[in-house]
Structure 1
Amino acid sequence: MPPPEDISFEEFVTARRAALLRTAYLLTGHPDDAEDLLQVSLAKAYPHWRRLSDRPEPYVRRIMARESVDRWRARRWRETLTALPVEPATSDESDAHDRRLELARALQALSPRQRAVVVLRYFDDLTERETARLLGISVGTVKSHAREALARLRHALTLEEEPVRDG
């Protein structure tokens, strides 16, 4: 992608909207909240467009991660996903959909900072150093949040897979 001085804000949004919206969804766990988060983040980035370095996307992602944490702190409550498939799905599609919902629920059970670390590190494929820079925390903090979050995710997803035993 060319530097911001060579690309308009509108072109950037058009080219990167889908990827940014995916990140926003993973941070919020709800499509409407993801749209809101992306819009607020883009609105905050727009006034600084001319001053951005040659990579504006990390700047927008940092705004999204921080805004997501700030929103959670302001609410002090968590929402529960209740999304259902729109059309009847095949067995394979249904299993994949169920796994995505399980992962989304497990992500929502993490703290906002842990969720941001997991999303940026493993879904957006950023390095520990890039994630630390975007979130304004140390690399060690990224490592510890990632370790704790992955352990919680493994535990949550393993519990859901275990069959109920009579006994």
Structure 2
Amino acid sequence: MARDSDGALGVEVRDPARPDPRDPMGPDPTAPGVRRHTDRSSRRLALTFDAFAAHHHRLWLRYAHTQVGSRPVAETVVESACARLLEHWPHVLLQESVSQYAWAVLKEEVARRQDAHDGPPALVDTAAFDAAARKLLQHGTPDQFTVLENEIGLYGAISRLPERQYDVVVLRYVLRVPDEVVAEYLGIEVPTVRSHVRHARRRLARELGPAR
């Protein structure tokens, strides 16, 4: 019971979906009001996750493909990352950058797949051959083996870059992602993206030499 504004005793009206601080057990989860409130919240969360995943799915899949070398395997990796994100979606939404957090989860799933099969990133086998084929088709280069060798050397050197430089180069040049999106995924500023590019270029130039 509670007193109204005139001091008279009245019946306290409480939203059944809100916990009663006097009740250590909280609201009855089977109560209709609580159940409807929970269902609505779950649907809203599911909708926000679906929209987020749909926006990023294509790029996640392309990145995973460059790392594991197989489209079906890449799809499995992305599905595993999505399952982890959905399971902890309320926690994910509390992060400073949801895109950066999701990118880290995706990379963990890629690394888990690689560790399970004792394999390094498949960048050399995927991006190098694709790029060489594009050059051959576009420019009709007569020395096909030289083109392929140069591409393999380049992507092999990229795969040996420090992790942050590697991510920037793969996103920016292999997957052709704008600097702003690279910065969003990695949780850094656009000038920092460009700084990583400069350092990566100098490192690649030293490793490959002027002949490349």
| TM-score (norm: length of structure 1) | 0.53
Aligned residue for 1:59? 101
Contact 1:21 1:35 in 2 (8 A): yes
Aligned length: 151
Aligned residue for 1:151? 202
Counterpart residue identity of residue 49, structure 2: F
Q: Distance in 2 between matches of 1:25 and 1:18?
A: 11
Match of 1:106 among 143, 157, 180: 157
- Gaps (5+ residues) in structure 2? 1-43, 142-146
1:12 equivalent in alignment to 2:49: no
RMSD: 4.9
Contact 2:61 2:78 in 1 (8 A): yes
Aligned residue for 1:30? 69
Please tell me whether Structure 1 or Structure 2 has the larger radius of gyration of its CA atoms.
2
Query: Percentage identity across aligned positions?
Result: 25
Higher helix proportion (structure 1 or 2): 1
Aligned residue for 2:85? 45
Q: Distance in 2 between matches of 1:53 and 1:93?
A: 49
Distance 1:47 1:130, change over 3 A: same
Q: Distance in 2 between matches of 1:6 and 1:115?
A: 33
Q: CA deviation at 1:60?
A: 1.4
Q: CA deviation at 1:20?
A: 1.8
Contact 1:117 1:145 in 2 (8 A): yes
Q: Secondary structure at the match of 1:57?
A: helix
Contact 1:118 1:149 in 2 (8 A): yes
Structure ranking higher on relative contact order (CA contacts 8 Å, 6+ apart): 1
Distance 1:145 1:14, change over 3 A: closer
Distance 1:128 1:12, change over 3 A: closer
| TM-score (norm: length of structure 2) | 0.45
Q: Secondary structure at the match of 1:78?
A: coil
Aligned residue for 1:137? none
- Gaps (5+ residues) in structure 1? 135-140, 162-167
